[in-house]
Chain A
Amino acid sequence: MSDEANKGLLSPLRRKLLMGMAAVPAITMLPRGAFAQAPATSAVNTTGLAVTDTEVTVGILHSATGTMAISETGSIQAEKLAIEQINAAGGVLGRKIKFIQEDGASDWPTFAEKAKKLLVNDKVAAIMGCWTSASRKAVLPVVEQYNGMLYYPTFYEGLEQSKNVIYTGQEATQQILAGLNWIAKEKSAKSFFFIGSDYIWPRTSNKIARKHVENVLKGKVVGEEYYPLGNTQFNSVINKIKLTKPDVIFTDVVGGSNVAFYKQLKAAGIDLSKQALLTISVTEDEIDGIGGENIAGAYACMKYFQSLDNANNKAFVSAFKKMWGEKTVIGDVTQAAYLGPWLWKLTVEKAGSFDVDKIAAASPGVEFKGAPEGYVRIHENHHLWSKTRVGRAKLDGQFELIYETADLVEPDPFPKGYQ
């Protein structure tokens, strides 16, 4: 008998039941008989989107294959989780969210083609998608031309603002400035060495960081080096670091290169518990590949860490692991991707319509109190107000929160004095 009961607890059915149960309190919060009294489709959808009386279709557009799949899988999982939770809580304007997933295949033109397919063929009400700046740049003209709505999760270089995009990650100044201020004060740092992958995001981020170091912190940048994406030889730059002895190594090396970089740093005898290193490109996802022992002691500047200690985050982490397995880790972008469907739902409900124009207009001021990172709000420029946090990498691959800004940081995609 007790065996039976135990099996019952472990069964997949239990998960479904629990999810269903989780929705029960939410249903009571809904306006009476939300499903029955959902507003008429003709009223909430005047532009021919894929909205029926019971369903609304959105698109998920990430790389499920190719070199970016390792990073984007987390975003896909987070978006699916959010959609499932929203459906369990009654959907959007009384309609269940159905999603169509397309594969961008780590190839920017494919992203553009698939975005067009989602908008023109499938008439999706919104797209949750893109990851790299290159894929966003490819999709942006399509989304603007066909008047779609894109929720973009990655921290990025800024210098962009569109009626048709909500940026749920942080733009460069939001991510960098507070972190630099903190490390300059904490470590009395005066000299910085920049290392980045060679494309628009690291270059723009480092440009902003350099202006801040030189003009605001009155420090010095003693080196600035770029390596092609996928580069695995960092010995020469490590030698330069040893020669110049910077107070802080500031890195925005992305993807697989990180594995080689931190291993070679360790092999060269640079001890991250003594040498301060601030990265804006390593999340829990990357540490999975790098190995906690190779990066322990490094500081990362993000807005979210899996280890954040608040009720929202605990619920999010456990739901995520329940859905995708105990071993999965959750990085900054994964959390930002989770915000996309929720912000869209809240905006639709605020606008009382699925129409893209109305959503774009209603977005500023929409706030999401259930965000794992804490409270977030959409700014007039379609970016999010959010906090900047600094974490320290631990051996187990998690970050220990060291510092967070007291207030939400205002997004400023076109920073004056930093261009």
Chain B
Amino acid sequence: MIINSRFFNRSELMGFIALAAVLFVILPLTLDVFRLNLVAKYLTYAFVALGLVLCWGYGGILSLGQGVFFGLGGYCMAMFLKLEASSVENTKIQSTPGIPDFMDWNQITALPLFWQPFHSLTFTILAIILVPGLFALIIGTAMFKRRVGGTYFAIITQAVAAILTILIVGQQGYTGGINGMTDLRTLKGWDIRPDHAKIILYFVEVVLLFACIGIAQFIRLTKLGRILVAMREQEDRVRFSGYSVANFKIFAFCMAAVFAAIGGAMFALNVGFMSPSFVGIVPSIEMVIYTAVGGRMSIFGAIWGAILVNFAKTSLSESFPQLWLFGLGALFIAVVLAFPNGLSGLWADYVQPRIDRLFASRKSKSDWNGNSVADGAPAE
């Protein structure tokens, strides 16, 4: 209980329990496998949203290029799965059996060198974390050491997203081009397509998500998290106090990149393919929108944002195939205009006080520890 009260304050603990109950118990019991698989897809974006809370909500670094990291993670996973699906016997119809189908269509006759290590699952898992992490490190170092920040940084991340898309589409012999990598089948011989596999993958993903929530919450509560918030509020003061602002920014950006990459890898596993349409500018902006709708200051708010926005996308497009995009656009405008702190702000302003009053009437004094006030974040 003591540990809990330090790691989560009461409202966060409630948020944690609510999310765990919904994801671990309620959804698996009530949804059929098809819908559960869709939730798994939405949750891959929750990883990105979680990273954006750290980097944008706390650190104040707006990145409009999270699709890049989501894509890198996803492509690493997809390359491993594609190689496994392209065994000689599966591809005997090709002119060069044993290489992925899109290479064959592009007259490539041998597996390129940088594909070779993706035969190994260990390497792939390392690559999912390290490739986006290092890439973020390079961009972050190049930018933050020169004190490029704010809008300019956002523009540059967006340019990176555009460049990577063009690169992937242009090098289609090596990347599958605009079609992406499709028809992923097995993971170490284990078929990822049937229903029971989807259920297992769903739970693996939820466990991973909670692990990431734990890491994010840990970072938030340490001194590091406070410096991030201080940086967001008054960058110069932090710098004059002797902290290396650039290093902290780079760290937050790299963490966000790694979270996004894990989401991307889970996406490839759950959905069974990867394509450049998750890398570019539009998906990157969408990712920022999920976070904004949920509440960029709130870990749980952002996760709910990712789930609800994607759920709205699916259900609106099923019910109104011609008009749904307008509905979704209206929803975003309404949320941002009416509740600038997103859904979590709404919760903090209207629902939380009622709950508090309810508790306060039972207990004379609540055990608020004022954590969220120090963070400058609205209570979750």
Contacts and interface: CB of A to CB of B under 8 A. Distances in A.
Asked if chains A and B come from one complex, the reply is yes
Interface of A: 64-65, 101-103, 105, 107-110, 112-114, 116-117, 120-121, 133-134, 137-138, 140-141, 145, 157, 159, 198-200, 203-204, 207, 228-229, 414, 419
Contact of A199 (B178, B277, B318): B178
B321 A200 contact: no
B283 to A, nearest CB: 9
A134 B105 contact: no
B271 A207 contact: no
Contact of A134 (B95, B178, B271): B178
A89 B183 CA distance: 39
Contacts of A207: 107
A159 B102 CA distance: 10
A138 B271 CA distance: 10
B169 A228 contact: yes
A141 B170 CA distance: 24
B179 interface: yes
13 contacts: A65-B324, A103-B321, A107-B277, A109-B278, A137-B179, A141-B182, A159-B105, A198-B169, A198-B170, A200-B177, A200-B178, A203-B105, A229-B169
B34 A109 contact: no
Contacts of B38: 113
Given A112-B271, A117-B34, A141 B322 contact: no
B273 interface: yes
A203 B106 contact: yes
Interface of B: 34, 38, 41, 93, 95, 102, 105-107, 166, 169-170, 172, 177-180, 182-183, 193, 271-273, 275, 277-278, 314, 317-318, 321-322, 324-325
Given A109-B277, A198-B169, A229-B169, A145 B179 contact: no
B16 to A, nearest CB: 29
Given A64-B321, A116-B34, 17 more contacts: A101-B321, A102-B317, A103-B324, A105-B325, A109-B271, A109-B277, A112-B271, A112-B273, A117-B34, A134-B178, A138-B275, A140-B182, A141-B182, A199-B172, A228-B166, A228-B170, A229-B178
Secondary structure at chain A's binding surface: helix, strand, loop or mixed? helix
A108 B180 contact: yes
A80 to B, nearest CB: 12
Nearest to B182: A137
Nearest to A144: B183
A311 B32 CA distance: 50
Contacts of B272: 112, 141
A194 B59 CA distance: 50
Contact of B322 (A65, A157, A203, A414): A65
Contacts of A419: 95
A133 B179 contact: yes
B170 A117 contact: no
Contact of A117 (B93, B183, B318, B325): B318
A300 B102 CA distance: 28
Nearest to A135: B179
A159 B271 CA distance: 24
Nearest to B283: A107
B193 A108 contact: no
Given A198-B169, A200-B102, A113 B275 contact: no
